[in-house]
Each structure stands twice: as structure tokens, then as C-alpha cells.
Structure 1
Amino acid sequence: MVRRISALMQGINNIRIKKKLILSFILVVFVPVLIVGIFLTVAFRQNVLDQATQQITNNVERIKKQTLDIIRMPIEISDKLLVDSRLTNIVNTQYNSTFEVVKAYREFNDFRDYIKLYSEVYNIRFYTTNMTILDNWEFLKVTPAIEAEDWYKDAMKQDGIHWSYISDETKGNRNYLSLVRKISFPTYRTSGVLVIGLNPVELNNMVSQEPFDTMIIDESGYIIAAKNPNWVSKNISELDFASKLTNKAEGTYEFKFEDKPSKIVVEDLHPDSSRNGLKIVSVFSIDSIVSGANRISLLGFGIIMLSLVIAFVLIYIFSVILAKRMLLLNKDLNKVAMGDLNVISHVTGNDEIGLLSKQFNNMVVSIRGLMDEVSESHKQQALLQLRQKEIKLKMMASQINPHFLFNALESIRMKAHIKGETEISSIVRMLGKMIRRNLEVGSRMVALKDELEMVRCYLEIQKFRYGNERLTFSLDIDEAGQNIEIPPLIIQPLIENAVVHGLENVAEGGLVRLTTQIKDHMLRVEVADNGVGIHEDKMKQINEALHDMEEEGEYRIGLRNVHQRIVMIYGEGCGLQIMSEPGAGTRIVFEIPTGGHPFA
């Protein structure tokens, strides 16, 4: 994850400022505004569609209520006729002559009165099995053709009100929504079927005022009223979009109407005391609803896009101006990089680029001044080096040849050995070995055992000088690390510091202990003495001096030199650690990797 972020940041850093500004505009402004615009457009469109659906649902509820108001009167009429004694008498009387029938019809005007009084009722007729009556379009004898009709069969099977879209032989066999109800006469053990036809004009006028295609269908799927007159009297199976509506439950559905996305609202209408009911269906095209919202959305989207284009043009212009100023400053920087220190940047302004230009000019002036100072300093150093060479030549004339010194020490050692002074002979041999080794020291690594041999020689010489009463030493060496390579002269100065300074005021019983240990691929070296120790203030000065490149104070030079060499080769975690308390001696510890230079 960190690598991916680092790679992404590196990729961003490699993009030029002009492209960064344009990219930032696209990511920070263009994309968010576009997303918000699309979201608001979709939300606005959906809100309009939901409101339209709710309005259609309300309209369907209103049509349902109005339809119930229309069919309420035929239901009440049928309830009255169900218990009308005059209807019972006229239907069940056995007539002997036509005159009796005509007289009875003249005295019974209820059917005609209901039709005149209520506009919802279009026609009323009664089918009877009394063969002595005359067919007069109000009372009709049941024929085999009538008996075969489904509506007649259903009415005779079950009591109650049935609603059917049936033809009326008294009105040219045109179809009407009709209330069909069986009326029984228990006294005469007869029955008949009452048919009340509803006025189609009332139903069609009601749905024709709707803003969308609306229809009323019976349970058989016949359209009894519709906003589109061409649909009336057809079965919904003849309409592709509505062929599956017969068994649809109440609700709102999406479908294709005339190859356009549309919605359809279905509402059931089941009058009281009825065996079956009707369905109210309203169809509307989604495009017709959201077209206005789409126009508003397109207008808003166009304004947003125009604003974004103007903003993009402005960003592009600003980025070009900014990039041009940066390129001018870059050209001036390249000239300085090529060595031309007489360049003056002419990029003006008080913004960040202008401030960089001013700082650039100040930097060039400072560099020219520094170059002059360096040139003068080089001249002085060259003169100083020339003088130092002259001094060295004069000093060399008075120096003792090292080979002469070694030969002289060897002669002294041999004479001491011949005379039986073995201690003096041994000390002289170790002194010669130390002088030779110090003269041979360079930048190469040396084996730990060779460095320890130098330490042992030094301690033997100092022991000879001070005597056994004042100085003793112990070497606790881990044999596993004898061949590890270390920088030369990093242990001997610590031993020398312990002898010269640690035991400076110790008259007798002085002890210097050197310990080496190999653990976890690290060489640990510890030099300890039982001297007077170091006070807290002085310890603070020593620790500060270890990091001071200009410090030239007494014995701290050796410690500082060792510390800085170790840090330079092995890193900050491998420097000297000095621990001391007044009267309790001093310990100096350092740890270095056994594999040599960790950064090699």
C-alpha cells in the first residue's frame, strides 16, 4: 500500500503544472459537478414520475368512487324490486287473454319511472318463465337462447348481484354494463332474472375527462367504458399491452405501451352485495410525464456544462500564464547551472513564483560573492601550503630516520639481552613494534588480534613504567572474534585514556580490564578501569566533545577521533558509550557489526 501511494505521488510529481491544474479542475470540479447534476436530474425525474403516479392513483380512486355512485342507484332499485309485491303479482299471474296482460302492464309503470327519474339507468327488463305474458321490452319470456347465456346461468345458480357486459335485445343488441339479479318468488315457487342496464354515456363521460388513457373492464375482460372510444366493447385480450390485466392484482406496473416505457395502475371495484366486480385501469406513458422534467433537466445540465466550459477555459488560460512564468524561471536556473552567474531573472509579481524569482536573484548575487571569497581563500591556502612545505623541508632535515631509530632500538635490545636484562629487552622490543605499527597505520582494516597485540604491548610498557604495584591489567578475549577486521587504532586510544587519565591519581592497585565478546553478529568491546571516575559536569563536556569536530582539548582528542571514526564507518548506533561515577572508575563500550562496514 505504501509503495502504491509512493508510486502515485511520484507520478503526480512528474506531471507538469499546467496539466496538474487541468487535472485538478477535472477531478475536483468537473467530475463532482457532473455527478451531482446527474444525481439531481435523475432524482427530479423520479420525483415527477412518483408525483404523476400518485396523481393517477388518486384519479383512479376518484373514478372508483364516481362509478360506485353510478351503480349505487341500480343496486337500490334491484333491492326495491326484490320485495315489490306488484312485481310479484304481475310476473306470477296466469293471464287468460291479451287484454288482461295489457291492462296489467298499463298499471305497472315502475320500470319506466325509474328510467326517467335516474339518468344512471338506461334500461330495465325482467326475464320470466311465465308463458302467458307478452314480450313488451320490459317483461320477456325466457327462451332457449337466453337460457344458454352465461350471465343467465350464473344468475340462476347463485343469489346476489352479478355485473356483466351483455347485449340488450331491446336496444338493437348493443352491449351494456348490466346488473343481473335473480329474484325468487317463494309463494309461487318461481323465479326470474332482473337486468338493469347502466347508461354508457354516464360512464364514458366520466372516464373521457381523465388526462390519461383510462378504462373500466368487467371480470370477463370486456371494456365497458374508456377514454379512447375505439376500445369500448373490445376484450382486453385484443389489446397487446392489456392482455394480461384480467388476473392482475391491484397495484402499479411497468410495461411497454406503443413501444414506449409506460406505467399502468390497476384498481379493483367490488360493489356491496355483488358476486363479482369491475376493474379500473389507467395507462400513461413515462415520457409524457417526465418530458417537462427532462426539458428542465436538460436546460439545467446545459447551464452547468456551459459554466464548466467557461471555468475550464479560464483555468487553461491561468495555467498557461503560470507555466510560462515557471519556464522563464527554469531557463534562468539552467543558465546558472551551466555556470553563467551574471543571470538576472525578470519574472515579476508578488506571488510564490515572483518571490522565487527574487530569491533566485539574491541567491545568484550571494553565489557570486561566495565565489569571490572562495577564490581569495584558495589563493591564501595555496600561499599557506607553500609556506608549510618550506617548513616541512626544514623539519625533515632535523628529523631522525625511522630506520635509524629502529636499528638503534634493536641494538639496545640486543645489548640488554646479552647482559641478561630480559625485561628491558622485552620492553624495548615491544616499543619498537608499537612505533613500527603506528608508522604503518593506514586506512585499511586490521585483524582484531593484531590490534589486541598492540594493546598488550602498550600495557606491558606502561606496567614496566609504573610498576606492578600501581598498574595491572587483564584481557578477557573471545577467541571466536580473533580474525574479525576492524579499523586500526580504535582500542589502543581507549586503553591509553584509561591508563593516563583514569589511573592518574591512583598510587597503587590500578587495574585496566579489556573485554571482547561476540553476540548476535556484533563485536562488543569494553575498556574499564578502577580509577577516580568522572564528575557529572565533566562527563557532559566529554559527551559534547565527542561530536565536536573543532574540539582540541587534551585527552578528548583521542576519544573523539575513535568515536567519530566508528560513527562514520558503522553508523550513529555504533559510537562510544562512556559510563562513570566519581570514585567508581570508568567504563567505555562500543559495538560494531562482525561483518565489517554495514553500508559497504
Structure 2
Amino acid sequence: MRKIKNYFNNMKLQSKLVFSFIIAVFIPLLTVGSFLTHELRSNALSETKEQVSSDLERVKKRTAETLEKAIYVSNNLTLDTELKELVNTHYRTIHEVVSAYNNYHKFDEYLKTYQEISNIRVYTKNETMLNNWRFMPENTIHNDFWYRSAKEAHGLIGWYYIPDETKKNRKFLSLVRNINYHDDKTNAVLVIDVNNKHLSDMLSQERTPVMILDDNDYIVVSNRTKFIGKKIDEVVKIDIPPSEWSGTFTGKVDGEKSEVLVDILLPEISSNKVRFVSVIPKKIIMADANRFLLLGFVVIAFSLIIAIMLIYFFSKLLANRFLKLGEQIDTISEGNLTVDIHVDGEDEIGLLSNQVNHMVLNIKELIDQVEKAHIKNNILEKRQQEIKLKMMASQINPHFLFNALESIRMKAHMKGEKEIAGVVKLLGKLMRKSISVTGELITLQSEIELVKCYLDIQKFRYDDRLSYSLNIDPLSENNLIHPLIIQPLVENAVLHGLEDQSHGGNVEITTKMMGEELHVIVSDNGKGISEDKLVSINKVLEKTEDNRGNRIGLVNVHQRLTLTFGDRSGLSIKSNPNSGTKVSFVIPVRGNNHV
């Protein structure tokens, strides 16, 4: 085991990867591929047999339907009183016989109605009747086996492959039935030929040889014409006699091994049966199976070739990279080793470990140097922090500014300047809110309070030149928004919309909840915006990097809205010269976490 381990450790990295692939991939791939191929082949065999069995069952069903027509006609003729009278009448002259024949049309009617039968004839002992190929004397066939079988069948139907002397002795699968006329103590033998062409057309749709046999093992009809008329044991070679055939067995047909399927049909009120034999040559059974087998081997071989090529390429690439890395490390590593990193083996990884030992020493020396430099930097940074603290201590404390404003307000209030005191209080409140703004969300109500402070201060400045109104939907007050979203819009309305107004300037802030959305509108009745300038502003909003002039507030608000809520939440500006300006935006509401 140790020798194997040492041998594996001493192998080149590329050889290791190829060997690992063979062990880890090649064998499982062959195993799984062979198993799947075998299963597919087995499934193909089963499906072929099932298909042929299904085809044979379909042939049996259609044949039964055909034979039912002949049985139906025989039942009607057995009970036909006109036929009974015609067969049992003793005729004195030929004219009487011919007249009786001319008045009886049932045979022709049945032949026209049912394409499944090709001929109907009756054999009788009545010597006063003439042979007109419909009614025939029994003395011509009384020694035939089928005639004797019909006599012994007690009225049951027999199915035989017999010649029809009315059609040049061509053989047909025929229904043979003895009709007993008990009242007259006579009988007649009815023969109905099944249409061979109808049966042949039915079998022609099958791709494998199919045969229909009578009870004497003669092949009545087949989709292979060379089989018709032969006995089945002349076609299918097997040691078992045909009378014992059932189910599925293996035999030879035309010298080729084949699977033979046998099925039986016993029509109603019949004394014998009709058999069906389907032959599936082994080459047909194996065709699909072998195709799957070949396909499986091709896929496995192709997969293995591709895999071998890929593993060879990547293993060679990896090995070359390691060698190159080793060469680069070797060129930059200098000095004596102080830390020993040892890896067993003499492959590329072992070589790399030796180079790492050189690098460790150099890195340790660099760390020592960096630590010394870091100590110096810490001392310098500490000195700089001390200087910054002294500078910060000299700056004006914001609390000092708020306290100073509060003192001014109190002085103004004590001297009766309540208006000035109120404005100073609003200014302090505004500054305190502005300075305390962070990235955290605030309620719409807090933002409106900030806006109200700003407007009250501006109203103090402009007096009756400015008025404002707040239409705040109570349902919207607790919705969370970013700070300083509405205030810049109000500031723009006051500075740009109402700056030149001598009186009657008005700013209106409206909020409304509409379904799952918060709608905010800031409008003024100022000088408005020209069409060209409005186009320019909208372009600037689309190019948020353009923050020139007084539009920086609009751009900032628009960018924060679109980045947070999407393009639909951006600013919408509507204005006409001397008709005021309306700026609006929409925020989707999803509870307290909608942002």
C-alpha cells in the first residue's frame, strides 16, 4: 500500500488527473450507460411484442365483425319461410322451377347489402329443382368432409376453407350450416362465402405476417399471398403439432427464427373455431432494440472521447499553470528559509511547496518591515488626531447657536416683539430639524411640520405677498418618506414662482391616499414656466448628473424618488406662463416598510 501511495505521489499532476478521471468517471459512465442501454433494449423488445399482440387483437376483432354479418344472414335464411317453401316444393315442370327462382330475391339482396360476403348457395336433396349456382343438388358434395360435418353439427355453424364450384373452385372461408325443416322432414345445407378481398384488405395494414386459419389448419387469408392455401405447419416449422399451439412460442418461418403469436376466435353458435397466427421475425423484433443498443454505444463512446479530450486539455493547462507559477515564485523568492513547509511527493505541488518556503521567509521580513512602519504611522496618526481634536474644540458648538437664538427670542418677547420672537423660534426649530436630519425615514407629518416652519418664516418676510394652504389627508400622515422631499419643492415654488409677485402669492400643499399610493402635489399661482424652459428642466431631470443652478433641489428630489420607488415615482412638472406651476409625485404604500 505504501509503495502504491508513493508511486501515486510521485506521478505528475496531469497523470493524476487522467488516472482519477478513469477511476471516477470512466467506470461509472460505462456501468450506467450499459445499464440504461440494456433497459432501453428490453423496453423496445417488450413494446414491439405488445404492439404486435395489440395488432393481432385488432385483426381478431375486425374478423369477428365480418363473420357476424355472415352469421346474421344465415340466421335470417334459416328462419326464412319463402326459402323453406322454395326448397320443399315438388315442381312438375321446369317453368315452375324457373318461376320460383325468379320470384326469390333474398340472396341478391343480402349480397348487395353486405360487402363482407361474396356468395350464397344452398344444397338440397329436392330432385325436382334445377342447378342454377344458387340452388344445387347434394349428390355433388355429399362425400365432402364439410358436408358431413354440417350434418353432424345439429344446426350449429361450421367454418371451413372450401372450394366454390360456382367460381372456378376458388377457395373461400365459408360458413356451412345444416337447415332442418322438421315439418317437411327435410333439410338443406347453406353455404355462405366470406369475401376474401375484404379480409385481405383488413390484413394488408399489418407490417408483420398475419394469417387466419380454419379449423383444419389451412391458411384462409394472409397479408403474405404465398402462404394462402397452405397448411400452417408448412409455413411455421416447429416440433409441436398445430392443434397444441397457443400463446407465444418460437419457430422458423422461411428459415428465419420468429416469434409466433396464436389467438382463437369462436364465433357464436359455431361448432368450430377460427385461429389467428401472427409472425414476428427476430430481425424486426431486434431492429428497434439494436438501434437503441447502437445508439447507446455511440453516445457512451462519444461522451468518453469528449471527456478524455476535456480532461486532457484542462489537466495540461492546470499543470502548465502550476509550472509557470513555480517559475515566477522561483524568480522572486530570495533569502534563507526560516519556516519549513513540507509536502510529500515530487510532483508540481511538491515543487510549489519548496518555492513557498522561499516566499515565506521574504514575506516574514516584509511583515517585520511593515510592522515597524505601522508603528511609526500610528504615532503620526495619533499626533494628527490630537490636532484635529483641538481644532474641533475651537469650532462653534451648534447648541451655542440654538441657545443664542433662544436668548434673542426671549429678549424680543420680553420687549413685546412677539412677531419677531415667533419668527426666531421658527428659525431655531427649522435649523434644529434640518441639522438633525439623517438617512432614517420620517413620517409625512414631520416633513409637513418642517415645511410649515419654512413657510411661516417666508410669510414673515413677504407679509401679504405670500399665503399658503395645507390640504393633508389624515390617512397619509403616518406614511414614512425620506426627509427633505417636500421642502425643496416648496422652496422652489416660493423663490422661483412667487419672487416677483407684488401680492396674492399662494402655495398649496396637497396629499391624498389613492388606493395603494400616496399622491403629493405642490402648486403655486406664480409666474409659471415657459414651454422651452420646462423642456429644459425635464431634460435635466432625466440627466441627473447635471446639477447646475437652482435646479439642484429638483434633481436631488427626483433622483431620490426614482432610485427608491422607480421611474413612475419621479417628479411630474406641469406649468404655463402666468398660470402657476404644479409639481407632483407618487409613492407606492406598503405599510410601514414601504420604502
TM (norm. structure 2) is 0.51
Alpha-carbon displacement from aligned partner over 1:90-120 (angstroms, at most 9, x marks no partner): 2222223322222222222222221222211
Instruction: Supply the AA of the counterpart residue of 2:284.
Output: S
Q: Residue 407 of structure 2 corresponds to which residue in structure 1?
A: none
The one-letter code of the counterpart of 2:308 is: F
Q: Name the larger-Rg structure.
A: 1
Aligned CA distance change for structure 1 residues 23 and 350 (closer, same or farther; 3 Å): closer
The number of equivalent residue pairs is 339
Q: 1:230 aligns with which of 218, 226, 245?
A: 226
Unpaired runs of 5+ residues, structure 1, are 1-6, 330-344, 366-600
| Structure 1 residues 160-189: Cα deviation after superposition (integer angstroms, max 9, x where no partner) | 000000011111111000000111111122
Match among 123, 147, 160 for residue 152 of structure 1: 147
Aligned letter for 1:357? N
Q: Note the C-alpha offset of 1:84.
A: 1.6
Match of 2:354 among 354, 357, 365: 357
Q: Within the alignment, does 1:17 sit opposite 2:11 as a pair?
A: yes
Deviation at 1:242, TM superposition (A): 7.3
Q: Given the alignment, which residue of 32, 39, 62 partners 2:58?
A: 62
**Rounded Cα–Cα distance in structure 2 between residues aligned with 1:352 and 1:248:** 76
CA distance in structure 2 between the partners assigned to 1:69 and 1:108 by the alignment: 27
Residue 525 of structure 2 is matched in structure 1 by none
1:48 and 2:33 correspond: no
1:165 aligns with 2:142: no
SS at match of 1:137: coil
Q: Distance in 1 between matches of 2:257 and 2:195?
A: 34
- 1:283 positional shift: 2.1
Q: Secondary structure at the match of 2:111?
A: helix
The answer as to whether partners of 2:26 and 2:304 remain within 8 angstroms in 1 is yes
Aligned residue in 1 for 2:91: 95
**Superposition map of 1:120-139 within 5 A:** 120-139=116-135
2:206 aligned with 1:210 = yes
Q: Check 1:208–1:269 CA distance in 2 against 1; reply closer, same or farther (3 A cut).
A: same
Query: Matches of 1:262 and 1:237 in 2, distance apart?
Result: 14
Instruction: Report the Cα distance in structure 1 between the residues aligned to 2:62 and 2:207, rounded to whole angstroms.
Output: 16
What is the CA deviation profile of residues 566-595 of structure 1, one whole-angstrom value per residue up to 9, with x for unaligned ones?
xxxxxxxxxxxxxxxxxxxxxxxxxxxxxx
Which residue does 2:298 correspond to in 1? 302
Change in 2 beyond 3 A, CA 1:23/1:167: same
- Report the AA paired with residue 354 of structure 2: S
Alpha-carbon contact 2:263-2:276 (below 8 Å) kept: yes
Report if aligned partners of 2:236, 2:252 keep a CA contact under 8 Å in 1: no
1:253 corresponding residue in structure 2: 249
Q: CA deviation at 1:234?
A: 1.7
Q: Deviations over 1:223-278 (max 9, x none)?
A: 11111122222221221447858335553334444555543332211111111121
Measured in 2, the distance between the counterparts of 1:171 and 1:12 equals 92
Change (3 A) 1:30 1:177: same
CA contact (8 A) 1:49 1:286 kept: no
* Separation of aligned partners in 2, 1:258 and 1:360: 82
Give the alignment's TM-score, normalised by structure 1. 0.50
What letter is aligned with 1:308? L
Contact 1:236 1:243 in 2 (8 A): no
Aligned to 1:546: none
Shift in CA distance, 237/256, structure 1 to aligned 2, threshold 3 Å: closer
Spell out, residue by residue over 1:3-42, the C-alpha distance to the aligned partner (whole angstroms, 9 max, x if none): xxxx6x7656556636665544333211221121122122
- Give the share of equivalent positions with the same residue, in percent: 38
Counterparts of 1:38-437 in structure 2, within 5 Å, are: 38-143=34-139, 146-159=141-154, 160-241=156-237, 246-247=242-243, 249-258=245-254, 260-292=256-288, 294-295=290-291, 297-315=293-311, 352-358=349-355
Secondary structure in 2 aligned to 1:119? coil
Task: Determine if contact 2:40/2:292 at 8 Å carries over to the other structure.
Answer: no
| Secondary structure, counterpart of 2:301 in structure 1 | helix
C-alpha distance in 2 between matches for 1:270 and 1:84: 25
Separation (CA, whole Å) in 2 of partners of 1:11 and 1:154: 87
- Secondary structure of the equivalent of 1:247? helix
Q: How many Å apart are 1:363 and its aligned residue?
A: 12
Kept in 1: contact 2:123–2:137 (CA 8 A): yes
Would you say the 8 A contact 2:163–2:170 is kept in 1? yes
Q: Secondary structure at the match of 1:276?
A: coil
Secondary structure of 1:271's aligned partner:
coil
Q: CA deviation digits over 1:519-576, x for unaligned, max 9?
A: xxxxxxxxxxxxxxxxxxxxxxxxxxxxxxxxxxxxxxxxxxxxxxxxxxxxxxxxxx
Aligned 8 A contact 1:162 1:179 in 2: yes
Distance 2:54 2:267 in 1: 19
More deviation in 300-309 or 149-158? 300-309
Give the partner amino acid of 1:179. L
- Counterparts of 1:356 and 1:308 in 2: how far apart (Å)? 34
CA–CA separation in structure 2 for the residues paired with 1:153 and 1:301: 63
Distance 1:31 1:50 in 2: 29
Inter-partner Cα distance in structure 1 for 2:255 and 2:17: 47
Residue 217 of structure 1 deviates from its aligned partner by 1.3
Task: Give the equivalent residue in structure 1 for 2:532.
Answer: none
Could you say what secondary structure the match of 2:243 adopts? Answer: coil
1:313-341 alpha-carbon deviations (Å, 9 max, x no partner): 45457778999999xx9xxxxxxxxxxxx
Which SS does the other structure have where 1:301 is aligned?
Answer: helix
Task: Tell me by how many angstroms 1:280 deviates.
Answer: 1.9
Q: Distance in 2 between matches of 1:64 and 1:154?
A: 25
Q: Is this contact kept in 2: 1:241–1:255, CA < 8 A?
A: yes
Distance 1:284 1:194, change over 3 A: same
Q: Which has the higher contact order (CA 8 A, sep 6+)?
A: 2
Question: How far apart are the structure 2 equivalents of 1:112 and 1:300?
Answer: 61
**8 Å contact kept, 1:219–1:246:** no
In structure 2, C-alpha distance between the alignment counterparts of 1:51 and 1:181, rounded to whole Å: 42
- CA shift, 1:196, in A, is 0.6
The alpha-carbon distance between structure 1 residues 13 and 245, as it changes in their structure 2 partners (threshold 3 A), is farther
What's the CA shift for 1:211?
A: 2.3
What is the alpha-carbon distance in structure 2 between the residues aligned to residue 248 and residue 10 of structure 1?
69
What is the alpha-carbon distance in structure 2 between the residues aligned to residue 186 and residue 152 of structure 1? 19
Q: How far is the alpha carbon of 1:72 from its aligned partner?
A: 1.0
Q: CA deviation at 1:82?
A: 1.3
**2:178–2:188 contact (8 Å) kept in structure 1:** yes
- Give the letter for the 1:266 counterpart: V
Distance in 1, Cα, partners of 2:80 & 2:5: 96
Residue 152 and residue 242 in structure 1: after superposition, are their counterparts in 2 closer, same or farther (change >3 A)? Answer: farther
Q: Deviations over 1:465-496 (max 9, x none)?
A: xxxxxxxxxxxxxxxxxxxxxxxxxxxxxxxx
| Residues 130-185 of structure 1 deviation map (CA, whole Å, 9 limit, x = unaligned) | 22222111111112x52221111111111200000001111111100000011111
Cα displacement (A) at 1:86: 1.9
Partner of 2:122, secondary structure, is strand
Query: Which residue is equivalent to 2:431?
Result: none
Cα distance change on mapping 1:154 and 1:206 into 2, 3 Å? same
Correspondence for 1:4: none
